[in-house]
Amino acid sequence: MTKKLAEPWYRPPPADEICPLCGRPIPASQRDLHHWVPKTKGGKEVAALHRICHRQLHALFTETELAQRYSTVEALLSDEAVRTFVWWVRTKPNDFYERTRRSGRKG
């Protein structure tokens, strides 16, 4: 009896994947999946972001804010703190990572 190989649960990302937030290429070691609407709020659609970009969003906003006000790139970039972060992170190498601190804005 031959065993059927299971479908792999993980597929490597395309080599040229670009972060929709900062516009830089995402190295595999710095790739996080972000739910545009958090899973706890019923979200299913995901996008790959740099780990630092993803963590910054969750440091700035609550899940409710992400679900209600910031569920698109355009909405995120309308926020001054996000624009300032994106301006700063674009000057860093693609594989740059720094620990993200929780924002005082987050309730």
Please report, in tens digits, the pLDDT of each residue of the chain (107 residues total): 566 666 666 666 556 699 999 999 999 999 999 999 999 999 999 999 999 999 999 999 999 999 999 999 999 999 999 999 999 999 998 888 887 766 666 55
Q: Report if residue 14 sits inside a domain.
A: no
Q: Report if residue 67 sits inside a domain.
A: yes
Q: Report if residue 17 sits inside a domain.
A: no
- Domain residues for 60? 28-89
How many domains does the chain contain in total? 1
Q: Report if residue 35 sits inside a domain.
A: yes
Q: Report if residue 60 sits inside a domain.
A: yes
pTM: predicted TM-score of the whole model, two decimal places: 0.79
Q: Report if residue 104 sits inside a domain.
A: no
Q: Report if residue 71 sits inside a domain.
A: yes
Residue 31 phi, psi dihedral angles, 5° rounding? -95, 125
Q: Report if residue 62 sits inside a domain.
A: yes
CB atoms near residue 70 (< 10 Å): 21
